[in-house]
């Protein structure tokens, strides 16, 4: 909303308040990383072997085994107890519950419910955010995240585990997205990309890298959930610092509250404005709303050929990127290295991915960034699978390097996806369209745990599936029009004609600046 941005210039759009909000956003990044990856941390599967009939002198096998190790076993006997070789003394939920071998599907189902909750929560909390405001939902979502994780500590049966992980998942993304929206709206437009990207790159990276070592320090999955959940109780204190969205207040015609928020912003930033300035701002907003006509809805994106095609490609791209991002992030076992070390090494890609996005996205264009990052990810993930399959004594360093580069590529693709979709969808349905693209991506992550579960059937199968999906996504991105240095579509008609003369090989970095 142009009027709000102009008003914030007068009240201060990069001063004390914005610094405070960025600091609080950093806290949210740390908490969100710990919360999101709690799925992986509590589910680590240490090396195990059947303990039936073993004496104290029996040596542990080189690899995990579901069958009894005594020589009289037929190979079809059911094991009743297991021994575990824990990583650095950490007891995971998996080892405590013995959800391995024939029971491994239970863990996969519980993890999937986390993403079912995420899809439902994104829709429900997003809807509520448009009714009651961004700030209350920010607080509510983080309290739900805390509650779900704390309840999981008592979820030692399959039904309870599924229910509690669904509750924890219900908050996922909304607990982060609401603060992202608030910070973005109060930041100077020219500083939004770099400010938010650096903040995410540094603190989400630190949270992700530190998560496994918090688990090691606590020694058990319950201790990890407890120590990473309690800090969420601080988020309600944000109410006394973070202002509500002025844009939302204006859209709901809550003009007095909008004026109060702006006065508070000006006061914190040390600015003094006459009351007439606020009054004129409110008058301009009222006039703008009176002239606003009824806007189209999401379904209108599917009524014309090119818009429908682009929307479906964005849906598929979001599903592939979100699925690969989650699966690659959690695919830290079976690579010949401690999952704690592998998890931290993989997380180091988050900051470079954010920095490369800042450096290159406005140089090479959105399409080139999206397709090349998915291509990079697909190639290296696929090669990882080939190495795991063909080399019986594979070099751990090579496998880890390939996996980390694959994670880097998919992280770049994941971080760039939101901006590409936002620019490509016409302004008149942008909010609904971007939300739909986002939800489709999270819905597809339901299959993430099942893809990783296929490793029990065929060791390199997760890498093969993820690599093929990434390569397919890279190819489909070539069918989308470029948005860099273009006049972005505002109406459905403009969206249908946008990039109509472009080809799959049209890239912004290979042409002079032009507008379509």
The chain-wide mean pLDDT, for the chain, equals 86
Q: Are residues 246 and 355 in the same domain?
A: no
**Residue 189 vs residues 6, 65, 233, 235, 249: alpha-carbon distances, Å:** 10, 57, 31, 26, 19
Q: Are residues 283 and 317 in the same domain?
A: no
Q: What is the dihedral of CA 237, 242, 248, 254, to 10 degrees?
A: 80
Query: Cα–Cα distance between 359 and 361 in angstroms, integer?
Result: 6
Query: Cα–Cα distance between 453 and 191 in angstroms, integer?
Result: 42
Q: Are residues 511 and 480 in the same domain?
A: yes
Most confident of 137-146, 283-292, 402-411, 501-510: 137-146
Please report whether residue 47 resides in a domain. Answer: no
Q: Are residues 228 and 324 in the same domain?
A: no
Give the angle 192-359-405 at the CA atoms, nearest 5°.
115
Q: What is the mean pLDDT of residues 275-299?
A: 81
Final residue of a domain: which of 292, 327, 343?
292
Would you place residue 514 in the very low, low, confident or very high pLDDT band (cuts 50, 70, 90)? very low
pLDDT of residue 63: 65
Q: Are residues 221 and 358 in the same domain?
A: no
Q: Are residues 238 and 140 in the same domain?
A: yes
Please report whether residue 48 resides in a domain. Answer: no
Query: Cα–Cα distance between 84 and 60 in angstroms, integer?
Result: 9
Q: Are residues 28 and 143 in the same domain?
A: yes
Final residue of a domain: which of 292, 324, 343?
292
Higher-confidence position of 55 and 43: 43
Q: Are residues 330 and 462 in the same domain?
A: yes
Whether 52 contacts 79, CB under 8 Å: yes
Among 169-183, 267-281, 442-456, the minimum mean pLDDT is found in 442-456
The answer, yes or no, to whether residue 512 has pLDDT greater than 60, is no
Pairing of the two strands 82-85 and 47-50? antiparallel
Please report whether residue 89 resides in a domain. Answer: no
Q: Are residues 285 and 311 in the same domain?
A: no
Give the angle 504-379-440 at the CA atoms, nearest 5°.
65
What global pTM score does this model have? 0.84
Please report whether residue 49 resides in a domain. Answer: no
Please report whether residue 313 resides in a domain. Answer: yes
Q: What is the mean pLDDT of residues 179-190?
A: 88
Please report whether residue 63 resides in a domain. Answer: no
The answer, yes or no, to whether residue 55 has pLDDT greater than 70, is no
Would you place residue 234 in the very low, low, confident or very high pLDDT band (cuts 50, 70, 90)? very high
Above pLDDT 90, what percent of the chain? 35
Q: Are residues 283 and 310 in the same domain?
A: no
Would you place residue 1 in the very low, low, confident or very high pLDDT band (cuts 50, 70, 90)? low
Query: Cα–Cα distance between 248 and 128 in angstroms, integer?
Result: 12
Q: What is the mean pLDDT of residues 314-330?
A: 88
The answer, yes or no, to whether residue 516 has pLDDT greater than 60, is no
pLDDT of residue 511: 66
The answer, yes or no, to whether residue 513 has pLDDT greater than 50, is no
pLDDT of residue 265: 94
Q: Are residues 332 and 260 in the same domain?
A: no
- For the record, the structure tokens of 515 come out as 């507008």
Q: Are residues 124 and 267 in the same domain?
A: yes
Final residue of a domain: which of 292, 327, 352?
292
pLDDT of residue 515: 44
CATH number at residue 163: 1.20.1250.20
Please report whether residue 70 resides in a domain. Answer: no
Residue range(s) defining the domain that contains residue 309? 300-516
pLDDT per residue as tens digits for the range 196-218: 888 988 999 999 999 999 999 99
Number of domains composing the chain: 2
Most confident of 151-160, 326-335, 413-422, 457-466: 151-160
Beta bridge partners of 220: 91
Please report whether residue 91 resides in a domain. Answer: no
């Amino acid at each position: 909303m142009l009027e709000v941005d102009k008003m914030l210039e007068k009240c201060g759009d990069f001063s004390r308040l914005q610094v405070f909000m960025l600091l609080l956003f950093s806290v949210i990044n740390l908490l969100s990383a710990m919360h999101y990856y709690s799925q992986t941390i509590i589910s680590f599967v240490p090396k195990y072997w059947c303990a039936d009939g073993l004496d104290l002198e029996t040596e542990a096998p080189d690899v995990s085994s579901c069958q009894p190790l005594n020589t009289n076993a037929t190979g079809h006997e059911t094991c009743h107890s297991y021994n575990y070789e824990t990583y650095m003394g950490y007891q995971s939920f998996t080892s405590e519950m013995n959800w391995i071998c024939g029971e491994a599907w239970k863990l996969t189902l519980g993890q999937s419910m986390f993403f079912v909750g995420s899809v439902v929560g994104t829709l429900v909390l997003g809807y509520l955010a448009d009714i009651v405001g961004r700030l209350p939902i920010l607080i509510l979502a983080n309290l739900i995240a805390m509650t779900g994780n704390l309840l999981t500590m008592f979820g030692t049966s399959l039904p309870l585990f599924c229910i509690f992980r669904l509750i924890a998942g219900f908050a996922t993304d909304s607990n982060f997205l609401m603060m992202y929206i608030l910070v973005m709206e109060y930041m100077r437009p020219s500083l939004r990309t770099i400010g938010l990207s650096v903040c995410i790159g540094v603190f989400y990276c630190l949270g992700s890298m530190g998560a496994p070592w918090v688990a090691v320090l606590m020694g058990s999955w319950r201790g990890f959930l407890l120590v990473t959940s309690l800090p969420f109780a601080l988020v309600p204190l944000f109410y006394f610092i973070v202002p509500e969205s002025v844009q939302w207040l204006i859209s709901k015609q809550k003009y007095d509250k909008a004026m109060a928020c702006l006065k508070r912003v000006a006061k914190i930033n040390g600015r003094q404005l006459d009351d007439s300035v606020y009054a004129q701002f409110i008058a301009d907003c009222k006039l703008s709303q009176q002239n606003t006509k009824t806007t189209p809805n999401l379904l209108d994106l599917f009524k014309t050929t090119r818009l429908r095609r682009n929307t479906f490609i964005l849906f598929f791209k979001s599903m592939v990127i979100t699925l690969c991002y989650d699966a690659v992030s959690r695919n830290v076992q079976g690579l010949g290295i401690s999952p704690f070390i592998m998890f931290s090494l993989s997380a180091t890609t988050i900051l470079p991915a954010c920095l490369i996005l800042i450096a290159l996205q406005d140089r090479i264009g959105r399409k080139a960034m999206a397709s090349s990052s998915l291509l990079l990810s697909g190639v290296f993930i696929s090669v990882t699978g080939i190495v795991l399959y063909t080399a019986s004594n594979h070099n751990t360093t090579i496998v880890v390097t390939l996996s980390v580069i694959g994670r880097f590529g998919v992280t770049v693709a994941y971080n760039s996806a939101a901006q590409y979709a936002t620019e490509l969808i016409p302004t008149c349905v942008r909010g609904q369209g971007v939300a739909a693209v986002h939800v489709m991506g999270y819905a597809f992550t339901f299959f993430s745990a099942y893809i990783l579960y296929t490793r029990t059937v065929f060791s390199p199968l997760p890498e093969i599936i993820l690599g093929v999906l990434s390569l397919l996504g890279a190819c489909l991105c070539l069918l989308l029009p470029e948005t860099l240095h273009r006049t972005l579509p505002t109406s459905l008609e403009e969206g249908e004609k946008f990039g109509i003369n472009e080809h799959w090989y049209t890239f912004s970095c290979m042409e002079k600046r032009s507008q379509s």
